[in-house]
Structure 1
Amino acid sequence: MAGPRGQGAGGDGRKDASGEGRGRRGGHRGARTGTSRQRRRSAFTPPRTVTLRDDEGRKGTTPAAAGSEPGDDHQEGGERLQKVLARAGFGSRRACEALIAQGRVSVDGEIVTEQGLRIDAATQAVHVDGRRLQLDEKKLTVVLNKPRHVVSAMHDPEGRRDLTEFTERYDQRLYHVGRLDYETEGLLLLTNDGELAHRLTHPSFAVEKTYVCRFDAPGGPPRGLVKALRDGVELEDGPARADRARVLAQDGREAVVEVSLHEGRNRIVRRMFASQGFELTGLMRTRIGPVLLGDLAPGATRELTGRELGTLMAELGL
């Protein structure tokens, strides 16, 4: 579902006789698909602590805490920062001015506390409470629940189902981020944001992914399986270890185990189970970083929410 785009209202910030700024709550446009208007929840709650990373994937810190005044960041002919925030869904312009005054907004790594800064929303990095805002309306990132028996490619020479049937729903030219094998279903990201795609797939950023694994286990899975996955197993291309693993269900015939790991080697989850003597009969990816598959139906797509995208970008140091 396309993200909402709010548009601030309420004048140019002039004060009334009481000294209070006047403003009306900004409305929100409907999703790109033409759905009816929906009220967006305020995004004032600070995000969970995230570790920012630089361009090389090294762990860093949150943006500089020193306040700044409109200076080098000031873009002549740009859009006022409070108006940009209101359009992004952070409430009225007056509420956005309060966010700025509280030191919760940064532009290009510098916290801004003075009002009236003009920015270029398409090129400058704006964070609220450490969460990056995607303000370039040309960029789009969506979640796809890839069905089984679909190739993670834009074309398959063997004539099998590929990803074009899902990307052609959008005006933007989207590409898949990473892959899921032919038999695996679940969460796959499609985007036209090259930098985001690069960081999601580069090993140095090590974004955690979660999978739900089904396999035959007469009598239940052996006690040592989950421990072996956590401690690490030997594969032909080196050791592999799950960050977390737990049994979700078992009925004496089959078992379901959830595994989370940072690695992205080819078919790594299937190979980890195979090293312990289990062949997976079902495999679904349910999470990439802060992005969850949820109840999205197989073959369905939705646009990332601003909160999801902002948290993901912050985790990647964007």
Structure 2
Amino acid sequence: MEIRLQKILAQAGVASRRKAEEFIVEGRVMVNGKKVTELGAKADPDHDFIAVDGKKIDIFRSHTYIILHKPTGYITSTSDDKERPVVMELLPNSKERLVPVGRLDWDSSGLLILTNDGDLAYIMTHPAFHVPKTYMVRLDMPLKPEHLRQLEQGVEIDGRRTQPAKLRLVNTGNQKKATNQWYEITITEGRNRQVRRMFETVGYTVRKLKRTSVGDILLGGIATGKYRYAEPWEIEYFAKLKQQKLDRK
């Protein structure tokens, strides 16, 4: 049966659907020896020879899910042309071809999911599915109530208003030291450096940013730079999430 090429690539764990679409447009995908650049192109994974960058892909593989506590100073990527440290270097024992689900900036830390499940990566990163992501944020000064309300209602970034967010003060710290102000913010989008830019819009600088959850998956007590494989209940959650979200599309 023929299905869309980007879905085949995602199911094979090559990349998320969005990234797979970029591969197709860039001319990096071939079907039966012919380059394919049309996003609507289809192929039969049971009979067609499909290759990315000249390497045949295998769609029939089990899914792997890794929960990583990303430290600052690492790029959320599988490689970097500037030879900066990448998160894959933190998984020395993994033989799977995994991709990060979404991004965490170089100067941000916290929960990062890595998987070869392209459908899950697509759902968790595409803004249409509204998967919540929660962060702990330390600001340069206390957040005024009116600015908190603005952030909750949405602020304009690049000419487009952000979706409503949840925001609360977590720890007031030392009242004489404004840099001890910590807040918890939950968003359902994933724009480039979104949390930092939201606070910048209302006049604040984020000193530290740490992601603590994505959907029902929690960072918990994973030490910085360490990882674990998903537990059975988390794998079940991923399966239910895919079923619920994809059924709506």
For normalisation by structure 2, the TM-score amounts to 0.68
Identity value in percent: 34
Q: For residue 166 of structure 1, report the CA deviation from its aligned partner.
A: 2.1
Give the alignment partner of residue 160 of structure 2, picking from 227, 230, 238.
238
Give the structure 1 partner of residue 77 of structure 2: 153
For 1:312 and 1:245, how far apart are their aligned partners in 2? Answer: 26
Q: In structure 2, the residue corresponding to 1:314 is in which secondary structure?
A: helix
TM-score (norm 1): 0.54
**SS at 1:264 equivalent:** coil
Deviation of residue 152 (structure 1)? 0.6
2:169 aligns with 247
CA distance in 1, matches of 2:129, 2:233: 20
Counterpart of 2:169 in structure 1: which amino acid? Answer: V
How many matched pairs?
A: 181
d(CA) in 1 for partners of 2:223 and 2:166?
A: 26
Q: What does residue range 76-87 of structure 1 map to in structure 2 within 5 Å?
A: none
Tell me the distance in 1 between the aligned counterparts of 2:154 and 2:127. Answer: 18
Distance in 2, matches of 1:249 and 1:277, equals 20
What does 1:184-223 align with in structure 2 at a 5 Å threshold?
Answer: 184-217=108-141, 220-223=142-145
Structure 1 Cα separation of the partners of residues 160 and 140 of structure 2? 26
Output the CA distance in 1 between the equivalents of 2:164 and 2:206. 16
1:259 to 156, 179, 185: 185
Residue 151 of structure 2 is aligned with which of 229, 232, 256? 229
Deviations 1:115-157 (A, max 9, x none): xxxxxxxxxxxxxxxxxxxxx9832101111100100111112
Change (3 A) 1:317 1:237: farther
Change (3 A) 1:299 1:232: same
- CA–CA distance in structure 2, aligned partners of residues 304 and 230 of structure 1: 32
**Structure having the larger proportion of residues in helix:** 2
Q: Deviations over 1:18-41 (max 9, x none)?
A: xxxxxxxxxxxxxxxxxxxxxxxx
Query: Residues 266-294 of structure 1: CA distance to partner in whole angstroms, max 9, x if unpaired?
Result: 11100000011101000011100000001
Residue 316 (structure 1) shift: 3.0
Structure 1 unaligned regions, length at least 5: 1-135
Structure 1 contact 145–185 (Cα < 8 Å) conserved: yes
Equivalent-residue separation in structure 2 for 1:263 and 1:309 (angstroms): 23
Selected match of 2:89 from 162, 165, 170: 165
- Aligned partner of 2:208 in structure 1 is 282
Deviation, structure 1 residue 231: 1.4
* Contact 1:242/1:260 (8 A) holds in 2: no
Kept in 2, the 8 Å contact 1:210–1:261? The answer is yes
Larger Rg: 1
Residue identity opposite 1:261 in structure 2: I
CA-based RMSD: 1.7
* Structural mapping, 1:303-318, within 5 Å: 303-317=229-243
Equivalent residues of 2:134, 2:214 under 8 A apart: yes
Q: Which runs of 5+ in 2 are unaligned?
A: 1-59, 245-249
Distance change in 2, residues 1:138/1:241 (3 Å): closer
